[in-house]
Amino acid sequence: MVIGRPLLSLRFFVLVLSILAGLVQPSASGASVRIKDITDFEGVRDNMLVGYGLVVGLNGTGDSLRNAIFTQESLVAMLERLGVSTRGTRLNTKNVAAVMTTATLPPFARQGSRIDVSVSALGDAKSLRGGTLLVTPLVGADGEVYAVGQGALTVGGFEGGGDAEQVTRGVPTAARIPSGAIVEREVEFELADMTTLRLALRNPDFTTAERIAAAINGHLGVDEARAIDSATVALPVPARFAGRPARLLTDIEQLRVEPDQPARIIIDESAGIIVMGENVGISKVAVAQGNLTVRVTEQPTVVQPDPFSDGVTALEPRTEVAIDDGADKKLVVLETGVTLEQLVDGLNVLGIGPRDMIGIIQAIRAAGALQADIEVM
């Protein structure tokens, strides 16, 4: 008996390790994600900026001033501001192009910081390669100037060729200026003065909102975070985080939750794309698919006359007709409660393409056997 005790203790120790390993092992049914990856914090947001400007230095690929009147007027106004009078004269340069500039002002951007600028041709310019954007104010939705852009353009596309052939790769009339704008005005937002934090779900869902609130309450040891609706979770700032909401946000955004996914199928008929969610359910149903295809091929044969005869060369028609009535297609039974993988495998057995699969899915939904929402893009 004394000799058997170490063996029993070893087995018990291994059993305990196995149980602990099973407890800490993540669930295979769903994947957890960070709160920061599925939510946005109220007030912490980007702001869109837009502007109108001129690009100079183009090698004859700019706007035709006769066709783009706005380019000519902008060029004349710019020269007048620089002390050059061109009123009443006919300008005929093709090295200038009118452009629209866009940028995104990140949250908490301070004066003097730089942001990227996107530039797009507005007139009939053929390419912006080699151009330089002149000083361009970038305004927000309120009409105020928040940044000023200027600099050399970076163009990814190009265009070239001759009289008989032309080659265009990418979009030569669109460009970027990395760090091409300087922030001149800040968006006023005092994060430290907030007494309540609000988290906005990017994909609204009541179950996910409740799970986020439960994860926050469990981490902070309070019962104050609550789901207001399917898209918003509110959390009053605890006393120990007063004046330090950034620290609170850092702790919250690293928490992991398992988002709940609705049963949904996305269909893009124009591109033949089908995307199915994990929770798509289907009742027992039989599916068959077949199309009648008639293929007619004409292969005429040239017939030559006999030597030294009065005959002429002629074409002898030869026609081949092939009919495919889908006789090899089988009837497939999809059982109740099949998984997404089984559903796809069952439809693939029919040997059909994505476009025919779209029609089958819609027919299954019309028969009332598909428990999922179908969204057609």
Asked if 31 and 258 touch (Cβ cutoff 8 Å), the reply is yes
Phi-psi region of 337 (alpha: psi -120 to 50; beta: other; left: phi over 0): left
Span 226-253, average pLDDT? 89
Q: Which of 1-5, 247-251, 332-336 has the lowest mean pLDDT?
A: 1-5
β partners of residue 132: 56, 152
Asked if 107 and 44 touch (Cβ cutoff 8 Å), the reply is yes
Domains, the chain, in order of start with CATH, read: 47-183 (no CATH), 190-257 (3.30.70), 265-301+313-376 (no CATH)
The DSSP bridge pattern shows strands 47-56 and 33-34 to be unpaired
Span 11-24, average pLDDT? 42
- What is the signed CA dihedral for 169, 181, 133, 52, rounded to 10 degrees? 90
Q: Per mean pLDDT, which of 188-202, 220-234, 293-307, 334-348 is the most reliable?
A: 220-234
* b/e burial code for range 355-367 (CB count within 10 A of at least 16 → b): ebbbebbbebbee
In one-letter notation, the amino acid at residue 289 is Q
Span 42-49, average pLDDT? 89
Asked if 128 and 55 touch (Cβ cutoff 8 Å), the reply is yes
pLDDT(42) > 90: no
Asked if 225 and 217 touch (Cβ cutoff 8 Å), the reply is yes
Here the contacts of 330-333 (C-beta below 8 Å, separation 24 or greater) are 330/288, 331/286, 331/287, 331/288, 332/286, 332/287, 332/288, 333/284, 333/285, 333/286, 333/287
Looking at residue 341, its pLDDT comes to: 61
158-170 pLDDT tens trace: 666 666 666 777 7
Asked if 157 and 121 touch (Cβ cutoff 8 Å), the reply is no
The DSSP bridge pattern shows strands 293-298 and 319-324 to be antiparallel
Q: 3-class SS at 199?
A: strand
pLDDT(267) > 90: no
Q: How far apart, in whole angstroms, are the C-alpha atoms of residue 186 and residue 191? A: 14
Q: Per mean pLDDT, which of 167-171, 190-194, 296-300, 345-349 is the most reliable?
A: 190-194
Looking at residue 225, its pLDDT comes to: 92
Beta carbons within 8 Å of 84's beta carbon, 6+ residues apart: none
pLDDT(33) > 50: yes
C-alpha to C-alpha distances, 162 to 105, 126, 157, 304, 374, nearest whole angstrom:
42, 14, 17, 46, 50
Asked if 263 and 375 touch (Cβ cutoff 8 Å), the reply is no
- The structure's pTM equals 0.64
pLDDT(24) > 60: no
Measured distance between the N- and C-terminal CA atoms of the chain, rounded to whole angstroms: 74
In the numeric block, the tokens 């600028």 are attached to 117
- Tokens coding 35: 């709160």
58-117 pLDDT tens trace: 988 899 988 888 888 888 888 888 888 887 777 888 899 999 999 999 988 999 999 999
pLDDT band for position 135 (cuts 50, 70, 90): very high
Q: Per mean pLDDT, which of 8-12, 83-87, 302-306 is the most reliable?
A: 83-87
Q: How far apart, in whole angstroms, are the C-alpha atoms of residue 121 and residue 252? A: 43
Q: How far apart, in whole angstroms, are the C-alpha atoms of residue 60 and residue 47? A: 35
Q: What angle in degrees, to the nearest 10, is found between the helix axes of 206-220 and 245-253?
A: 120
pLDDT band for position 27 (cuts 50, 70, 90): very low
Looking at residue 322, its pLDDT comes to: 63
β partners of residue 57: none
β partners of residue 41: 199
